[in-house]
Amino acid sequence: MKMSKALSSDFWIEARSLRQTSPRQGERGLGSQNGCPKVCCTCCLKGDILNDSHAEIVAKRSFQRYLLYQMWLAASHQQCSIFIPGTETGKWKLKPNIIFVFFSSHTPCGDASIIPISEPENQLSKPVTGDDAAGQSAECISNHDRLGPEDKRKSEKMASNHIIKRMKTDDDDYSSVITEDLAVQQVSVKRVGDTNPKSCECSAEIQTANKETGLGRPKVVDVYRTGAKCVPGELGDARIPGLGYHCVGLLRVKPGRGDRTCSMSCSDKLARWNVLGCQGALLMHFLQYPLYLSAIIVGKCPYSQEAMRRAIIERCQHISFLPDGFLTHEVKLLQSDLQFEHSRQAIQEVQTNSRTKLVPCSAAISWSAVPEQPLDVTSDGFRQGTTKKGIGSHQSRSKICKVELFHTFQKLVTSISQEDLPDTLRMKTLETYWDYKEAALNYQEAWKVLRSQALTGWVKNAKEYLHFT
């Protein structure tokens, strides 16, 4: 599959039978984009804006569109569906030997992208400079410039003395980071003004690598930056130049273009899907069990197995008392040697002497294995070609925005007789998108447990943005 050179991501989800031999035959949902649209925080009350168009999210929404179609096939008693009847009335389960594989050409933004950089640089791209960091995120300023006057003074003093002192707060809480000159020793640091008692730890991979430096392993000197910002009210990054810039394991929101966004990072969303499934709340009405990814494969790019595992699995591994069927899934995390030919990194490798600034495209391309309008192209949250006058019209909507997926779900519900509906939908007065989501009781209970025990700082949409019909 080829994309415009303006695009820098390529993601798809495969539904693959274990007997299938051709990998491309199994594609079911695909998305390509890089960045949140300008309207990302101007959430529309009608649900007709594609608020988060990072490619992982576009692919997942395309996949949900495919699942809705497959559920309609099952309810219509067509054998070509991937679902078979479950043990409860109105419930369905996946056919045996079908698995879902998620491919990403790049590590997801957020915690999974905080990856060690070794010296000499043995990874696939050069160490991050100010310009490179701008390419990976919307935070287009150097580490030192990110600090306030007081922090700059302290960081300069640290650099000259080659030591970080332990700064104690009233609650005697510390966040753990490592600097270049204290690579083997874990040092506790907390920025003045931080009051959140939640701790933050440095990467175990960094500590291990630097402990083994004398054994021939390259020394870790820095980390790749992520543009995703720590959620409001939670512990923030130390922003100390070098290894101590980021704290790991934190929830983050996407930088977007312009105003701060309300969208959680892709690392955080993948962690959520790894517990709640990829089907979402609406489809959970019809499913006996959540649908989990069997594997997440990342293409050729800077990659850390430890960072991926920490971000997607380990942050939620300790939770307990989930409803029946939900679990902290042990998804397989793999890396491929396949590089997306139009990625920023691939273009930079070819155009080494070019000073052309690479800017992410605002268009998002999605494809679903459905018979009607499988291809969908949006720009800045609306269908490509939408004029200012056309915003808000039916024609301006992406096929994978909230209201369109909701209408597809409603058509599915109305196509099934009352006696064949699951208990959560039978003889209920449900009207809005919010009503239907809240009525998926087991899903909402699992989400409540996950949010209270692991993802405590998750930024939720206000109810008024979900009360559309």
pLDDT (tens digit per residue) in 278-314: 999 999 999 999 999 999 999 999 999 999 999 999 9
Strand positions, DSSP E, 320-389:
332-335, 363-368, 375-379, 382-383
- Is the pLDDT assigned to residue 150 strictly greater than 70? no
Q: Tens digit of pLDDT for each residue in 108-133? A: 999 999 999 987 654 444 333 434 43
* β-strands 116-119, 219-223 pairing: antiparallel
The C-alpha torsion from 384 through 390 and 393 to 397, rounded to 10°, is 10
At 352-381, the pLDDT tens digits run 777 777 777 778 899 999 999 999 999 888
Per-residue confidence (pLDDT) for residue 353, from 0 to 100: 75
Question: Could you say which of 14, 27, 56, 205 is catalytic?
Answer: 56
Please give the average per-residue pLDDT across 389-412, as a whole number.
Answer: 94
Tokens of 229: 């910002």
> Is 105 within 8 Å of 296 (Cβ atoms)?
no
Task: Mention every residue, 6+ apart, whose C-beta is less than 8 A from residue 65.
Answer: 29, 368, 370, 399, 400, 405, 408
155-172 mean pLDDT: 34
- The residue with greater pLDDT, 391 or 420, is 420
| pLDDT score for 411 | 97
Q: Does residue 100 surpass a pLDDT of 90?
A: yes
- In angstroms, rounded to a whole number, what is the distance separating the alpha carbons of residues 201 and 190? 11
pLDDT for residue 78 is more than 50 = yes
Indicate if 88 belongs to the active site. no
| Residue position matching structure tokens 């506790």 | 188
The residue among 42 and 327 whose pLDDT is bigger is 327
What pLDDT is attached to residue 392?
A: 85
Instruction: Tell me how far apart the alpha carbons of residues 258 and 381 are, in angstroms, rounded to a whole number.
Output: 14
In the numeric block, which tokens belong to residue 385? 């070609």
Whole-number pLDDT of residue 215: 54
144 pLDDT higher than 50? no
pLDDT at position 40 is: 39
- Which pLDDT does position 414 carry in this prediction? 96
The rounded mean pLDDT for the chain is 77
Higher pLDDT, 341 or 87: 87
pLDDT digits (tens, 9 = 90+) for 177-229: 322 322 322 223 333 334 334 445 566 655 555 555 555 567 888 999 998 99
pLDDT at 465 over 50: yes
CA angle (113, 452, 442) in 5-degree steps: 100
Torsions phi, psi for 118 (to 5 deg): -100, 160
pLDDT at 209: 54
Is 33 a residue whose pLDDT tops 70? no
Task: Tell me the angle at which helices 266-276 and 55-75 cross, rounded to the nearest 10 degrees.
Answer: 30
